Amino acid sequence: MAIEPWLPKNQTVAKEATVRRVLDGSEAWQIVELANKRICLLVRTALFERWIQAGLVDPASLHPVDRGVENLVAFTCSPDQAIQSLRRPRSPSSVVEALAFATSFSETRKLDSTTGLENGLYVESLSRILPTFDADDDQIQDDALILGTWLTGGLPISASNVTELQEALSWLHPANLKRIIEAAGLEYQLPASHLGWNGTDRLGLDTAAADGDGRPRSSKFASGGVFELPGRGDLSRFFNEHIIDILQNEDRYRSLGIGFPSAVILQGPPGCGKTFAVERLVEFLGWPSFSIDASSVASPYIHETSRKIAAVFDAAKEAAPSVLIIDEMEAFLADRDAAGGHHRVEEVGEFLRRIPEATAHRVLIFAMTNRLEMIDPAVIRRGRFDHILEVSYASKLEIAEMLQSRMRSLPTSEDVEIDLIAAELVGRPLSDVAFVVREGGRLAARSGGQEISQRNLLDAIASAPIRDRDVGEKRPIGFIWKTSPE
């Protein structure tokens, strides 16, 4: 059912853009999208005054809006800042989002410990869940149910039912779930299935997969295995020598003054396998992983980005040993002399402080970029990132190895010549290799075939023209690793 907007489309909200459409609302509030994509919360003054009386908001945080009939107050934020009603929750897309909500829940309860929040408004930038006072006293839900319902995007599962909640949130590592529940100020009751064989808390280890007796299954890393990355032999060797061997033989290395592996930068053109390589290493280790990228932590508000960055580092330390991935690091760690703005200086400073601290707490850090020249020199010096790995376009041999790995489990005809297909893909990003295999399979299925043929693969290559490539520029082929920046 469409909601009748309070403000006309040509109405300007406090020098912001004009109203575009209503996203959600009730008799006391409306969430609207503005023409510049910002989100705006409109509130009737009676509800706003109740928030002030409860000490939940600063009167200066919302500004008046005169629509010619009655006064409203409004609060605007960027598109990546959540304003939503808990009666129609949206499941979080990352650990950072979930922690931000949990922190807001806790901060709200410190100020108001009794009011029902099940129909409240979550305003991320204010770190508050503002009650709408819609529910009757006898219908007030307990906080654990509110949190669980929000985390699952609407499923009525209480956060106190950890086993059922984890089944619904299979993407969320148990260690992160524990931290989220505790950040919300709620008690975390460890289910028996999460107790190790000696009765200790296994969270932070491989709790996602356990044997029947509660012991964690042995990962390839835990059993002393060797890391393999098809198509990237040099990268595999680096990971095994500089990371895996150190972690599997820590006592021996420690006796010679070698501690936990330092942070690593992977740099190179888009689509050449930087993210893929780190994801495979995370799977091999079996550790919880965390990520920092522009979509999850960037904010136009002063101090807000730094606060989110700190929250991710804290979560990674809490779940250690863990892996922290900084994607598109140039978005946060650009040269302070060139970037400008006090908030950029603050963000770089936050990273400079947090990276060695996290490494000391057994957090393995990887950062990725295709614009290394933009990074602040203080970030890439030794002691923070000891190694810079160049992951560029693969050689024919590397592509052939990847093709064999991807097609090993697929039915292929006898006429398939891996070397010929690999030769056609030289100079392309590895994402094109994966596409050609998928597209070849699709073409085979469409034609009614039972196997992928050479013709299918060649047609797939022909349907995938090269993108974003400077033909006149000679690209380095394969992998180069450097022990320090030049």
For residue range 135-180, list pLDDT tens digits in order. 554 456 789 999 999 998 888 888 988 878 877 776 777 777 888 8
Token digits of residue 460: 């797939």
Give burial (CB, 10 Å; 0-12/13-18/19+) of 262: buried
Query: Residue 220: left (phi > 0), alpha (psi -120 to 50), or beta?
Result: alpha
Fold of 233-386: Rossmann fold (3.40.50)
Q: Which residues contact 118 (CB under 8 A, 6 or more apart)?
A: 86, 87, 135, 140, 141, 145, 146, 149
How long is the chain? 486
In tens, the pLDDT along 243-272 reads 999 998 989 998 888 889 989 999 888 777
Q: What is the pLDDT of residue 380?
A: 80
Task: Name the residue with higher pLDDT: 135 or 41.
Answer: 41
Mean pLDDT within 222-237: 79
DSSP code at position 227: -
Distance CA 39, CA 33 (A): 5
Q: Would you state the pLDDT for residue 391? A: 84
**Measured distance CA(187)–CA(392) in Å, rounded:** 48
3-state secondary structure of 244: helix
Share the mean pLDDT of the chain: 78
Query: Does this model's pTM top 0.85?
Result: no
At 337, give phi and psi (nearest 5°).
-70, -25
Does residue 23 carry a pLDDT above 80? yes
Do 238 and 339 form a contact (C-beta atoms < 8 A)? no
Does 364 score more than 80 pLDDT? yes
pLDDT band at 311 (very low <50, low <70, confident <90, very high): confident
Task: Supply angle C-alpha 211, 215, 219, rounded to 5.
Answer: 80
Tell me the average pLDDT across 48-57.
89
Rounded to whole angstroms, how far apart are CA atoms 77 and 83?
A: 8
Share of the chain above pLDDT 70, in %: 79
**Distances in whole angstroms, Cα of residue 313 to Cα of each of 93, 350, 374:** 18, 10, 23
| CA-based nearest residue to 367, from 468, 474, 485 | 485
| Of residues 217 and 466, more confidently modeled | 466
In degrees and rounded to multiples of 5, residue 151 shows phi and psi of -60, -35
Q: In the 8-state DSSP scheme, what is residue 139? A: G
State the pLDDT at residue 202.
33
399 with 357: CB under 8 angstroms?
no
Instruction: Please report the DSSP string for 361-420 in residue order.
Output: TTEEEEEEES-GGGB-TTTSSTTTEEEEEEE-BPPHHHHHHHHHHHHTTS-B-TT--HHH
Per-residue model confidence as pLDDT tens digits over 91-117: 787 777 888 899 899 989 999 888 889
pLDDT in tens, 382-427: 777 889 988 887 788 888 888 888 888 889 988 999 989 988 888 8
DSSP assignment of 276-302 equals: HHHHHHHHHHT--EEEE-HHHH--SST
> Is residue 129 over pLDDT 90?
yes
* 215: helix, strand or coil: coil
pLDDT (tens digit per residue) in 339-355:
555 556 777 888 888 88
For range 426-430, the mean pLDDT: 79
pLDDT tens figures, 81-93: 778 899 888 878 7
How distant is the alpha carbon of residue 219 from its chain centre?
Answer: 24
Q: Please write down the long-range contacts of 113-119, taking CB distance under 8 Å and 24 or more positions apart.
A: 115/54, 116/140, 116/141, 117/86, 117/143, 117/146, 118/86, 118/87, 118/145, 118/146, 118/149, 119/85, 119/86, 119/87
Q: How far is Cα 464 from Cα 263, in angstroms, rounded to an integer?
A: 36
CB 453 within 8 A of CB 416: yes
What fold is seen in the domain 396-462? Helicase, Ruva Protein; domain 3 (1.10.8)
> What value does the CA radius of gyration of the chain take, rounded to a whole number of Å?
26
CA–CA separation, 418 and 425 (whole Å): 11
